[in-house]
Structure 1
Amino acid sequence: MDQAKDLLAAGGSGSSASETALFRTIIDLSPARVVLVDTDHRYRYVNRAFLDFVGAREDEVLGRRVAEILGDVVYESYQPVLSRLEAEGLVWNEGWVTYPRFGRRYIQEGLVLYTSGDVQGILAFTRDFTELKEREEELAKQMEALRASQALNSAIVTSALDCVIVIDEEGCVVEFNPAAEATFGLARAAVLGQPISDLIVPPYLRQRHVEGLKRYLVTGRGSVVGRRIEIEGMRSDGSIFPVELAIKEVRLPERRLFTAYLRDLSAAKQAAAEIEAQRMRIHQMEKLSAMGSLLAGVAHELNNPLAILIAQATLLRDKAPTLDVQRRAERIHAAAERSGRIVKSFVAMARQEPPRREPVDLNDIVQVAVEMTAYGRRSAGVTLELALAPMLPPISGDRDLLGQVVANLLINAAQVLFDHRGDRCITLRTSLDGEAVVLEVADSGPGVPPDIREHIFDPYFTTKPVGAGTGIGLSISHRVIESHGGRISVEDRPGGGALFRVVLPVRDAGMLPAGAGENGRAGGLSILVVDDEIDVARSLAEILDDMGHRTCVRDSSAAALADLDRIRFDAVFVDLRMPGIDGAELRARIAARDPALAARTIIVTGDVVAGPRAAIQGSEAAILLEKPFTAKDVQDALCRAQEELTPPAAEP
């Protein structure tokens, strides 16, 4: 400013015209606005920058007052500044100034008192930083918006349920959100700046990851960026788990970043597997339901002829004229009883009734199961070694259900050995261990892996292909053994293979059911037998006749009701399934006439799948006799009916 004052002084003291021209050229080239006003506040000098600002010629400005050019408002705003100037001689001023004609401007201004010869006034230098300041303010707004955006993005990333991981072009971690920390078991502070491939990429995928990143940085082509894929990740403990991965590229002015969004699919995969397992269970249940319906019909049709066969074989054996005929009858009777047991064993697993309790010999149950499953072993080339402990104490249990368990273990062992190379041998042992009897079924197969062993008794769990197994055999076996107060387990067989161990408690098996050895009241009973299968009815009647009772046989409920109107019976045997009035309804009609006789009405049924109790709703208290029946079964049922029988009153 001192140099400008000197130049003005030189120009005002008669200096040469060339010096004056040079002075004006220098001032005009300055980007600052330079003016000189006199004590009346009239413009005595203005440079080109000021003229451009006010948009006027020099002759339109010189000699005019400041208020005329800049406006009264601006002029009045300078009054405090002029007071300071008179006191200080030099004033610097900076800030926003609003010009009525030129708008709002940001200026930096220096004012100094000027005296040169007869010229006195104020010399002002003004620099206009409006555009720069506006850019600064805009940049500040952008920075604030950026900070707000970053804060928002940080909040979103931090609260995201999915893993958000950001890496740079070197593959090193830039961001690692809390979800990623929880999922991978790594702390954010520990992974920042570390290669992502060493942290969460399984070892067998690391080389592929590094090469893929390098290729993408060079060519811009890759198999992962911009796509959603399923891949495997690695936790801090080294465990591998499935993840869903999506990678987005973020281009910044100075570098490129890659944001990976990962979602742990473990729960989703487990849920999908459970859904598939449920679907398979439903499929198996539908198969079982269809099989049960078919088996119900087959069993019912088989039970009627088996009942006849057993009854007639029993009568033939008891009345055989010669020993040879008796032996033949015993063979027929044994074969018929075996057939009946097979039918009952096949369908016993479909029942939901609690097991029946009676004294049973485990060795006898094993022998029957061995005989029943013999063909499957022979056809598979499997040998069986039996080691049955003699004189085992009886246990209290359901013969059919326990037999089903033994048969199932034998069948499973034979199936395991079917494709096995080497010895195909099953070893079956029974033994006494303190207060329990033990059954062991061991095979020479591959054994049961530990991961399967813990699920092997789960319902519908099977390692067999679809259509080859239902996954319910061992589950039902487990349930049957537990219902008998025992336990079943699987372990490794010494020398290789699997060993299933069943432990059943020895309890007081009790005596035979009350009245089992009685033949009925002296003089016999009057018994009505009703069955639409007349041969079944006659066979049952012959067994009763042989016990010393008097029988009346009818093939329909209508005929039986007619007899009941005129004859007094001590007991009634009635088939459950008959056309027209079935056995349950006939018993209900008997109850309406004679409740005491209804209590002595025995329901005969071959409905072994649904279970006889399920078929006689409204007659739950009825005594049941299941087909095929033996003479002992008939006698036991009649003994239970006799408990309800009271002697008739003497006639006057």
Structure 2
Amino acid sequence: MTTAFKTAAETHSPSILIIDDEPTLRDLLGQALRERGYAVSAAEDGRSAVEQVRNARFDVALCDLRMPGIDGLETLRQIKAINPDIEIIIITAHGTMESAIESLRQGAFDFLVKPVVLQDLFFSINKALERRDLRERLGLFELSRTIFSTLDPDELYGRVVQSAIQVLRADDASLMLLDKKDALYIALSTSLQQEILTDTHLAMGERIAGRVAMQPEPVVINEDVGRDDRFGGITPWRRIQASIVCPLTMRGALLGVLNVNRVRIPERYTERDRRNAMILASLVALALGNARLHNELQASMRRLEETQEEVIQTEKMTALGNLLSGVAHELNNPLCGVLGYAQLMQQNNPEPKLAKGIDIILREAERAARIVKNLLIFARREKPEKKPLGLNGVILKTIERKSYDLNVCRIEVKAELDPKLPFILGDFHQLQNVFANLITNAQQAMFEAHGKGTLTIRSQAEEHKVVITIADDGPGISAENARRVFDPFFTTKEVGKGTGLGLSVGLAIIRDHGGSIRVASDPGRGATFTLDLPVAPPELLAASGAGQAAAGEATAAPGAAPAAGASEGAPAPGPRILVADTEPHIQDILVDLLRQLGYRVDTAGTGEGALAKIRSSDYDALIADYALPRLEGGKLLETLRAEKPALARRLVFLAGDAASPPLREFAATTGSLMIGKPFSLETVRATLQRLFAAPSPEPEILH
């Protein structure tokens, strides 16, 4: 019971083994030592002494040199082989210089000659015990250097367990740590089965470790746990001979529990062992605390570096965005002229040779317009117009859109799409552009490497997200390039074949959708892009009725103009329109188009000129550049509402960046129509058709 446990563990005295074939000497020495408070055992020869050392632990042995059977030197060697920590004092009546030297060489602590003076014997025993204690402390110091020499958690756990086994002469140990829910889990064990390691999470007070965790000091268990009052009702996982269970605390906070067991060693733990365990536990707790603080510091440093990098990147992107926005605006005006005149020429049914040239001009100008649009998207990080969306539909539409190029390049597409894929909240057109860019990159890489290839696109649901993978069997991406593929303007393509913006724009779009995109590649065996997007909240789906059909599947873009030649709502010939733009070629294009449509047209190149004409004449509609010098859009609209309210309701703005957030907000709050540059003539025609068909058209941004 507990009382016996306390006697064995807490009142321990140094134990001494007397090995001598003379019974009288054994009795006399035994009595003298017991009177001094030592625990004494005796053996009449070397063999019985070795057997006792094998079954019990002694602090000091007093050994005769000449005995029947095996002599004192051989006894010394065998005892040291079993227990290297025991201190042995040779006592003999036949001492020589040679035997003394040999005894000390074999590991004896001292060499005394009979008849022994008791004071000399007691002095030698005390010194032997002091050396044992110093050796233990030195061992603890060396072990502290070992466990403090690493900050890697896994390596530290292994060193802690091995140190505990060494210091406390055990054959088994385990380390339990406290998790975020204040439950103990087994971080490392030398012998417990994997299912116990995996499944064990102990609350405070649960099982032995959970109860010891609530104690201030180590607990020694030298008997069956079921018979120990402190642990009533607990059935151990296996039978053990003795245990020391140590709470690991630092500054009053519990870190974990260290369990040290003697499973095969039939020896009880002593008070000295408990003290050593207490010292070891304090060292282990300090090492664990240091490692935890170091890892937290490293994590904080990483977060700080990431934040710093994000700030630097944001500043770089802001500066770059401002530059790109300015360049894009400057490019949009000449592009507007190229596209406009090419469309006007195309409407005149040119001869075949000229028509082919016009088609090339239109195609390349539209390509340039798309590049400019990507520049603007990159520069302003345009926020997506999110609606409930089925990504399978977006993927299939994108494959359909790219089918001609894929077939020409002999690319086989395998679409492995989960039919039960949940909806996301997304912008159909932005996400389609992301998929189109990834498919195009894969197509080009496979075709250039092999002249053919296989593209595998998968969709699946994982917890609260949708995962899309796009994998090719092309040449792959080197590790160096894989780190840079999402950087703006990074490209491995030849000059003129890529801007290096596709993936950086795609990354921005996916992040704006609350998702992530990453690349994995094995050079020579292809590349895989993985996109994660969050599932739409059920309440939003219910409110929008998204369950009826996947948004974005077989739907037209917002504001799409009616097909050419539609006649509904067409104005009667004669309405008078004022075109106000600083670019003469844009004025000329619109004049030619509007006159073909039967409108009467005037032009103005400045804000003052436009106001002068508006005040002196009556117009049915006004098409004006949003950025007229000294008469920007808001001021123009305010003036018209005050002086010409009817004309204010038929005002159409032209803007180089009509889809930017400020202009979107302006259009939404003022009810204005806005056409983005460069524009198609069909968009202008359809916009005017709607303008004259409805008294107050809905605000919209058109391209």
TM superposition score normalised by structure 1: 0.48
Larger radius of gyration: 1
